[in-house]
Amino acid sequence: MIAAAAARAPGTWGELVQGTVGGVDALITCPVNLHAIAVARLGSADRWQGPAGRPRTLRALAGIPGGGQVRIRSPLRPGAGMASSTADLCAAMAAASALIGLPKTPEELFDRCRRLEPTDGLMFPGIALVDHVHGSRVELLGPPPPLGIIGVDAGGVVETGGFNGRADLKEANRRKEPAVREALTTAITAVAAGDAAALATAATLSARVHQAILPNPLWERAAALAPACGALGVNIAHSGTVVGFLFDLNRTDMVEEAHWLGPRLGLPVRLLKLISGGITIHKRG
């Protein structure tokens, strides 16, 4: 008998591209090597209990038969654009469903998350392009190019639901559609070719035009420092606070660049890398 099941879901460092094309929402994931981990154990209750302060997680678990306890550990800061909520939801649902022998597919996880809130596509393998609001589009673009990220967090909180509910968002997205269309096309081709430089170019374009919608206080400094440290470009959280300096992992000493960038930004930096999305499950007898 399985005593427990654990599931690991990657967080993100913002997005590579986000906006609309023809009024349809589009987001290209930026999964990184930071993970939320959920552990599920069966119990005598007829419902699942989860961590305090995570009401959406409890709502997600309510759709899974049986009952028990789910605990979550996560390094992902809420409200920063690290997909903390999506990672929590996916890890919790994946662990509970695996424990009762009814594992959920990435498509099922995406659909359930999206019904609760706008969601990242981190549950899909590789790099994914999704309609994060209505779910009308899901494309698996391929494995991640060798992209390193030096991440910095501007601080503060952006609530995803509130951002996506802004009355002016539709029109603001419409105005930047030509640039987003270009960024999406470039990014799709870059992932298929394993081209880290082209992917960084697409991410930088998406980040730059998004400043008219949600300015990041670090953007101007980041955009100015990126060429000086040899970064290929810069990405952001489009509904969050984090910024990433993007490098070719095969040509860069990430530690050296982090030592150079940290003092100039006046903030702590994190060494990260772009990874494949997807949920990993472990069962314990």
- Tell me the per-residue pLDDT of 79-117, one tens digit each, with 9 for 90 and over: 999 999 999 999 999 999 999 999 999 999 999 999 999
Task: Using alpha carbons, select from 148, 153, 202 the residue that is nearest to residue 28.
Answer: 202
Task: Using alpha carbons, select from 278, 284, 283, 285 the residue that is nearest to residue 91.
Answer: 278
Neighbours of 40 (CB within 10 A): 30
**Going edge to edge, which strands form the sheet with 68-73?**
48-49, 68-73, 31-42, 4-12, 280-284
- Residue 20 — φ and ψ, nearest 5°? -130, 155
Please, are residues 68 and 48 in contact by the beta-carbon 8 Å criterion?
yes
**Statement: residue 1 has pLDDT above 60:** no
What pLDDT, on a 0 to 100 scale, did the predictor assign at position 24? 96
Q: Is 48 helix (H, G, I), strand (E, B) or coil?
A: strand
pLDDT band at 46 (very low <50, low <70, confident <90, very high): confident
Alpha carbons 250 and 68: distance in angstroms, whole number:
45
The pTM score is 0.95
**Statement: residue 78 has pLDDT above 70:** yes
What pLDDT, on a 0 to 100 scale, did the predictor assign at position 3? 84
Q: Is the dihedral of CA 82, 35, 204, 154 positive or negative?
A: positive
pLDDT above 70 covers a percentage of the chain that reads 99
Average pLDDT, stretch 144-162? 94
* Percentages (nearest 5) of helix, strand, coil residues in the chain: 35, 30, 35
**Cα dist from 135 to 132, 251, 273, whole Å:** 6, 37, 27
Alpha carbons 52 and 257: distance in angstroms, whole number:
39
What pLDDT, on a 0 to 100 scale, did the predictor assign at position 164? 85
What pLDDT, on a 0 to 100 scale, did the predictor assign at position 2? 74
pLDDT above 90 covers a percentage of the chain that reads 89
Average pLDDT, stretch 60-66? 90
Task: Using alpha carbons, select from 70, 8, 83 the residue that is nearest to residue 39.
Answer: 70
| 108-119 per-position pLDDT tens digit | 999 999 999 999
Query: How many residues comprise the chain?
Result: 285
pLDDT band at 285 (very low <50, low <70, confident <90, very high): low
Average pLDDT, stretch 246-256? 96
Q: Is 63 helix (H, G, I), strand (E, B) or coil?
A: coil
| b/e per residue 91-124 (b: at least 16 CB within 10 A) | bbbbbbbbbbeebbebebbbebbbebbbbbbbbb
What pLDDT, on a 0 to 100 scale, did the predictor assign at position 180? 98
Task: Using alpha carbons, select from 209, 213, 231, 212 the residue that is nearest to residue 222.
Answer: 231
Greatest Cα pair distance, the chain, in angstroms, is 59
Query: Where is pLDDT greater, at 159 or 136?
Result: 136
